[in-house]
Structure formats: C-alpha cells, structure tokens
Structure 1
Amino acid sequence: MGQNLSMHIFKVNYSLIPLHDVILPVPSSKVLKNLILSGKFLPSLAKLVESEIKSKPLFISALGNGEFRYLSDDDKIMNVKANSRLNGFVSFPYIDEVYNEISEGVYETPYGKFSLIVNSVEILDIQRMRIEDYMNYNIYVKFVTPVILSSKILLPPSLKDRYKNIKPGFSLLPSVGLIIAYAYRSYYSILGRTDEQEWATRAFKLSVLSNALAKIVGFNLSPKTVIIGRDEKNNLRKSRGVVGWIEFNIAERKIKKMAIKCFTISSYLGLGKSRGIGLGEIRVTLKKTK
C-alpha cells in the first residue's frame, strides 16, 4: 500500500446467514477473515490482512446485529441459531480488482456453512469531502466496540526512543487530543506513512492543540475487557479498552476541519489498535449546536 494509492475507501456491508446452528469463533471477525484468506471473498485483500505493518488501512468488524456485536468478555460459547442474520462490514482503500470480487454465495468455513449477502457498498472519496458546512456542529463520537488507545502516542517524537521499553497500558479515559491523534493515524494509514517522523510529529502537534482548544460537552465512557483469542499455550488473550461516547467542540476552525475529516475516515477504518479484528469500531455524528 504505497503513496500512489487512490484516496478512496471502500466499505462493503454484508450479512452472513448460518445454514445450521454454529459456534462463532473469538473474535467473530475470524469468519470473514477466513473467507478472504481462503480466496472465497475479496481475495485481493489477503496480503493486507496478513501484513504486519502498523496502522494498516483495514477494518474487519465483529459480527452482530445493529450495534450489538458478538464479542466475548468471558469464556462462554457464542452460539448462533441457523438462519440468523449476522451483519458486518469490511473497509479498505481502493483496489482495482475489488469490483470483480464483491460477490455473494454459500461458503464452507471452519466455523460452519454460511450464506453471504452483500447489502451495500459505500465509497468515500476523501478528496471531495465537504466539511465547511459543519462548523456550527459538535462532534459526537460513539465507541461501538472497545477502543484500544495508548497514551504514548502523545509523547513528543524526540522522546520516543527514551521511553520505547515502557508499557503503561491503554488509556481508559481518553482525552480529545488522544482520540484525534489516533484518528489522524487512521487517515494517513491509507498512504502507508504513519511510521515516518514527519507524520508522528504532526499527530503530536495536533493532539496538543486539540486538547488545548477543545470544549467537552458531555461523555459517558467506561472500560470493557474482551477476549481476542488464545495464545500458543491455549491461555485466553484479553484486551481492555473503552466504550461509550464523547461529544465535544473545537474552537479553532482549521483544527476542527481536520478532526472531522479524520473521524469520518475512522468511521470506516476504525480507531486505535486491533482494528483488523473488529475493535475500535466508531460512529461519528455532527450535532447542531444550540
């Protein structure tokens, strides 16, 4: 995924219908991941799915119904009855071959037999986004699935090496600057450039200015632990993030425009870490100020 990538993001909304009672894997996004890697659905994404690059421009949602997602916070089995309609989506930058790969069908997977239906395809043209109309609106961000954020992104890039071995854990009460810094990384992930010093410096400056110039209108945030699989010793792997919502405004016009742009992109590509397995799913709404 290089610098010549088209500035378009595809979002394929789909339904998976199990043809018999099934037990969903943990995380439930593994069902679609298996279909991609096996070449049955969107095979052009396989290299991106397998890539170990940081901040990869890919989001595979957990399966669910509406805003409910099949995510386990304990070791309980996630049973789903035959003919249940499980919804999900996958978002990624434009790839030429994708037009011929968005297909429906009945597929065997290690987790059961599913009928896949494509509900819709959305295309976000980043270069044609119109933001000027929304300056009199608050930004409302809902964390649908746990958002995994490290406050170390707020370190000045010059101090990165000094503290590289320190692991403070993840922030469960994120600031406006922290979530905007991660949204900015989602934006630049489509260029494959988020590890470069220039973009790290820009993210840091944006986070500091956003914290200084933001007015928080309200929030309802809480920590949530979810199981994300098992390690090589069959021990449960867990991740802890934050769910809920936060509403805020930013007083400076240029920074607010950038924030809206980045959050819009993050509503497709997710926010924070573990986006490839469905964590960090967000919804963004612009609310008219009174």
Structure 2
Amino acid sequence: MFAVYAAEPNADAPLSSLTVGERPEPEAPEGWVTVRVQAASLNMHDIWTLRGVGIKPDQFPMILGCDGAGTLPDGSEVVLHSVIGDPQWSGDETLDPKRTLLTEKHQGSFADTVIVPARNAVPKPEGLSTVQAACMGTAWLTAYRMIFTKSGLRPGQTMLVQGASGGVSTALIQLGRAAGMQVWVTGRTEEKRAVAERLGAHAVFPSGERLPGKVDAVFETVGEATWSHSMRALKPGGIIVISGSTSGPNPPADLQRLFFLQLRVVGSTMGTREELADMLSFIATAGIAPEIGLELPMEKAEEGFQAMLDGSTSGKIVFTR
C-alpha cells in the first residue's frame, strides 16, 4: 500500500529519511479495526519521529501520522484517537505508563490504511468534513484537555495563549472563544496576530509585550522563549497549563514569584477517548472548525513537512488521499 514513512532516524537532517513509497498492508488483530484513511494531519511529533526521538532504531521503518479520519469496512466515518493504552488499564489512558501513540510503537496514519483498537475509531460528526476531522486527535484534543480538564477556567475569565499560529494555539483560541472566555493571544508577526483575531481572539499582542492587565490562565506550548512573560502575566493564584516546549525545555524557574503569588503550573498531555468524543460533540454544537493552513495530497508530504519546519503556515497541515 502507499505510505509516507521514516526510513531511519536522522537527528540532524530529518527530511532526508522521509520516504514516499510502498509498505506492507496491515492486518488487524482481534479487537482492532482497519480504517481506510481519507485525510491525516501533520504534527510536530512526526518531525520528532524522523529525528528518532521517542522511538527505538529497530522500530524503523515507521509510517508517520498520529491523526486521521477515514472509513471502516462498513462505510462508517470515524476519527482516529491516537493514544493506545494497555488493554488491562482502566481510567485515564494518558496516565497509563504503558500508553503509546501511533508512530511510536504502531504504524501511523499517513497511508492508505491504518489499524487501531476498535475503541480508537470514534464516530465522526456529520457537520465536520473529513479534512477538518483529521485535525482533531492530537492538536485539538490537546487544547480541549488544557482548557476543560486542566485549567479550571470559567466563562468570562481571561486566558492568554502564547503563540498565535500553531495547531494547538489556534485550537485554544477557537475553543476558548466558544466557551465564553476572554481570549488574549501573543504572536511574533502581524500576520500571525491577524490570524488569531480572525479566529476569535479578543486582543492580540506582540510576543513578550507588557499586557494591559493580568490573566487567570496562560496556555503554554512554547517553553523557554515565553516562560518569563507567562509567569509575569498571571494574577495571584493563576495557572499555567503547559503541553509543549517547542523553544526549549528548560525555562527559568522564577520560584519566588511562583510561591509568593501562589501560582500553579500544570502539565497536560493529549487527551482521553471520552474527551475526544465530548470535544467532537462540542465542536458540532458550537459550529466551529479547525484552521487549515495547508492542504496537500499525501504524495506531496515533503512540502508539508518543510512548511512545518519553516513555520510558514498558520493552523493545521493536512494530507489527503
């Protein structure tokens, strides 16, 4: 079958191991299903896989792609939930020490077909296109969990999103606005800030700029470059919810501010199958849809990977079959 895969790890030149070609057709074991992929979205996790991060060398070649949407053999339209837990685990699968994602242990969704546990094929709402649905499983689910499970925010409170254009950031803007939050956003360029405004941000600011007031919560995916600003932006008792550190994993601690103002820092990773189902219902009810920055046929996947590395798009990059 056709697939986009990492032939081998390459830490210094990840795109050199990106391969478009043929891979064996997968066979679904008992309890798993085969999904015919119609669209799949690109995540930074796929770049890390190409670099060999979070995957052992003997697991290559590895088909890339955590997210996707497609059809079951009976024609049912589904959205992929990419967190695959231990069958013996009960409760929140993001806390399962044996959990894995597509592309870490199991082959990914950038292919004609992908196999997943039956529970990981979630019914797609009618109001969401296949391309839009392909964005839900990682970036949007991460944003949903950050707001609705981790932050404790209530409608009317003020949230700050650090970074205006990434997949998680654009989802945070749209979900926060739909949930009744006052949404502030920082962005490095006027173009990126304009995207945030179009998606529903109430106010936008250049990265690092002093804000007109303090916020109840900051949503972080950037890390070192924005951390000091995030800490200074919070009201006493406020919270930072962090799900990534794209600019570096070692921000200054600022411990005095942390304890004196009784700030909270909470980590968040992906989301559960139930949260994905709830989010899909919320999106359908709210009438919102993900920002698609670039849509390409899967055969041109390298263009999408290069665009992600260059930071030249806003929103999600989606490949179609």
Query: TM-score, length-normalised on structure 1?
Result: 0.25
Which has the higher relative contact order, 1 or 2, with Cα contacts under 8 A spaced 6 or more apart? 1
Structure with greater proportional strand content: 1
